[in-house]
Amino acid sequence: MAERKVTVQSEVGLHARPAATFVQTAAKATVNVTVARMSGEPVSAKSILSVLALDVRQGETIVISADGEGADELLDALAAIASAP
Amino acid sequence: MSSSTPWPPSRRRPDVDRMAGVGVSPGVGAGPAHLLVGEIPEPPADARHDGDAAAETARAVVALERVAADLEARGVQAGGTAEDVLEAQAMMARDPELVEGVSALVGGGMAASRAVYQAFQKYRDMLASAGGYLAERVADLDDIRDRVVALLTGVPMPGVPVDAAVPYVLIARDLAPADTAVLSRDLVAAFVTEEGGPTSHTAILARAMGVPAVVACAGATAITSGTPVLVDGTSGIVRLMPSDEEVAEARDAAAARQAALSAVTGPGRTSDGHPVPLLANVGGPGDLPAALANGAEGVGLYRTEFLFLDRAAPPSAAEQVEAYRAVLAAFPGGRVVVRTLDAGADKPLAFLPPPGHEPNPALGERGLRMFRVHQEVMAAQLGALAVAAAGTEAKLQVMAPMVATRAEAEWFVRACRSAGLPEAGIMIEIPAAALRAADLAGAVDFFSIGTNDLAQYTFAADRQLSGLTELQDPWQPALLDLIHGAAVAASAQGKGCGVCGEAAADPVLACVLVGLGVTSLSMASPALPAVRAALARHSLDQCVLAAVDARGAPSAEIARAAARAHLPGLADLAL
């Protein structure tokens, strides 16, 4: 299981446009991918409703995890989205 | 105790064929009413399907996908911010976890409509409990759910018709971006909403489209679809079942009034040359085109809440500077009066700890009172204002809302001075401040009277309660007395005293306010031409006489008539 810890930089947090881009990218992948708050329950990164409900604000750190073929590339792409200002 | 005296009949109580609201986009429009469908009924909790779970699940998936595709298509058609909003909604309708939830419920025997309803409920609860920005998204979620449930149960889809033989008058409680993204002038003759104000989504959209609109029209949603309706977006009057003559007459009057109004241009002044700067109320840089088109000499009320509400993090200094500078740059040589953040328990800020429960937010820790608790927010705003003002040619004036005492006024002025802001004033909207205006004038550079809140607090009548409109009437002589007192106190110390509430937008009352000693008037931009024309037709003496007799009247109704008797030029303007 590969994972990335990322601090969300966007001013609006993982909401609105950043959340949409994040979920769209995750949804294209064939493997399972989850996102969680630090020491929180992971939710599917392909679910916009679950990602929004995490309510991640600017400056908070999230853990993105995936397993299987292409997991590392996917996690890199998602981490880049989450850490973009 | 019983009394035989009848309750005074309400002047504004709507009768069957005439309703009154607030005109927010001028002009006259007529057409058949189209009532925007409100609530889709909740599918009953015991709704079951006939046993074929796979087929029932497929129905739900098809409905979700159709709604998603429809939202997406509307987004592409609308473009801009609306596209982002609608695309996000489409993603929600296609959410794989949501589909899984629906499928599980249908597998247990539940009907698709109920399963969709319940699956949404889970996310609805999560978003609602998060508060702030996410709670605002609940309305988006409900909109999707209602569309899907409507499809599955065969009831009419909420939304507006996008093809019609003749343009219709769109009537709604309020309008959402999804409702309005696809509308055009060819489709809509006028808007009427029961809720909303001059800066509501409906008002902004209507002005941008050049379509007449009336908001805050009590009882509007009782109008049945198909009823012919005549809407006057200037006076705020909505007439049902008008005759052809009435429609023609209203159109002619609107055209004549428009011609008379646009004949008067230039800075605000009375017929004998007494200058009264006419300024615009704006809620953000988006309101600037309307302000400039209507000849505003500056901004008399820049509401800054839009920068702070509905967001998880406070706006950065750079973002604030940009938003302030955009408005300052539009009025080189003019003045721009910025009201600092006016938030409270009814408009909580998502990035601050939630305020304690207040049974009465209008009387709570709001406006300047909130700044006393969160001084860092005030310091950041004042700092950004000082940076924005540097290098622009507008005169920046900053004022605080909800000031009651001289100590509060002094505290705010000190904060402005140390931020490097040369002109600091206060809103006069609490009766205590109006009563002690002479005291407060010594501490500040200017006053700006917010007549809406001043009326609410003076008459102990909640602005949100449409049943108390009578007590919110700015013609009430008690309110005129307080305005007069504040204006006289300011003038005695050489300070300006403007009005930035709805009262300034009434061309008749505008003359009275000038007669009371008010030195500038600020209003929603569409109201500027009528006020400019009314002032230009009357001398300062006439305004003073109108003001004296209005204050001498025993009721708002009589005050209005008494003032009109001194203002003969109104007739030329059909006002």
Mean pLDDT by 10 residues, chain B (575 residues): 40 59 87 82 90 93 93 80 82 95 95 95 87 74 89 78 83 75 82 76 72 89 88 91 92 82 90 97 87 94 88 90 96 96 81 80 90 93 96 95 98 97 97 98 98 93 72 92 98 97 90 98 89 96 98 96 95 76
Q: Is residue B263 part of a domain?
A: no
For residue A56, give the chain B residue with the closest CA: B312
Q: Is residue B71 part of a domain?
A: yes
Report the chain A residue with the minimal C-alpha distance to residue B350: A57
Q: Tell me, yes or no, whether B313 and B419 share the same domain.
A: yes
**ipTM of this model?**
0.94
Mark which of B153, B171, B204 sits at the end of a domain: B153
Q: How many domains does chain A have?
A: 1
| Same-domain status, B88 and B193 | no
Please indicate, yes or no, if residue B170 is contained in any of the structural domains.
yes
Cβ within 8 Å of A, B 114-153: 123, 126-127, 130, 133-134, 137, 141
Q: Do A57 and B98 touch (CB under 8 A)?
A: no
Contact A20 B87 (CB under 8 A): yes
B110 with B193, same domain: the answer is: no
Nearest to A74 by CA among A4, A7, A11: A4
Asked if the Cβ–Cβ distance from B313 to A58 is below 8 Å, we say yes
Which residues share a beta bridge with A35?
A43, A64
What pLDDT is recorded for position B338?
98
Both B520 and B546 in one domain: the answer is: yes
Residue with tokens 């200037």: B234
Per-residue model confidence (pLDDT) at position B216? 86
Whole-number CA gyration radius for chain A: 11
Mutation target to probe the B interface, by most B beta carbons within 10 A, among A28, A55, A60 is: A55
Q: How far is A24 from chain B (nearest CA, A)?
A: 8
- Locate the chain B residue with the closest alpha carbon to A11: B313
Residue B13 lies in a domain: no
Q: Are residues B133 and B112 in the same domain?
A: yes
Out of B136, B153, B170, a domain closes at B153
B96 reaches A (C-beta below 8 A): yes
**Range of the structural domain that residue A14 is part of:** 2-83
Does residue B7 lie in a domain region?
no
Q: Give the chain B residue whose CA is nearest to the CA of A10.
A: B313
Task: Please indicate whether residue B566 is annotated as part of the active site.
Answer: no
CATH code, domain carrying A36: 3.30.1340.10
Residue written as token pair 């597998």: B107
Q: How many helices (H) and strands (E) does chain B have?
A: 21, 16
The answer to the question of residue B4 being in a domain is no
CATH of the domain at B134: 1.10.274.10
Say yes or no for a CB contact (<8 Å) between B96 and A44.
yes
Which of B198, B216, B250 terminates a domain? The answer is B250
Quick one: B432 and B535 in the same domain?
Answer: yes
Burial label, B245 (beta-carbon count in 10 A; 0-12, 13-18, 19+): exposed
Same domain, yes or no, for B61 and B123?
A: yes
Which domain CATH number covers B432?
Answer: 3.20.20.60
Does the residue B2 lie in any domain?
A: no
Number of domains in chain B: 3
Q: Do B313 and A20 touch (CB under 8 A)?
A: no
> What pLDDT, on the 0 to 100 scale, is given for residue B260?
80
B167 and B59 in a common domain: no
State how far the Cα of B197 lies from the Cα of B217, in Å rounded to an integer. 10
- The string of pLDDT tens digits covering residues A39-73 is 889 999 999 999 999 999 999 999 999 999 999 99
* Triad A7, B90, B181: Cα angle to 5°: 110
Q: Give A15's contacts in chain B (Cβ within 8 Å).
A: 133-134, 312
Pair B307, B215 in one domain: no
Residue B92 belongs to what domain range? 53-153
The residue that leads in pLDDT, A27 or B184, is A27
Assess if residue B9 is contained within a domain.
no
Q: So what's the pLDDT on residue B525? A: 86
What's residue B13's pLDDT?
A: 36
Considering only the beta carbons, identify the residue of B84, B88, B134 that sits closest to A55.
B134
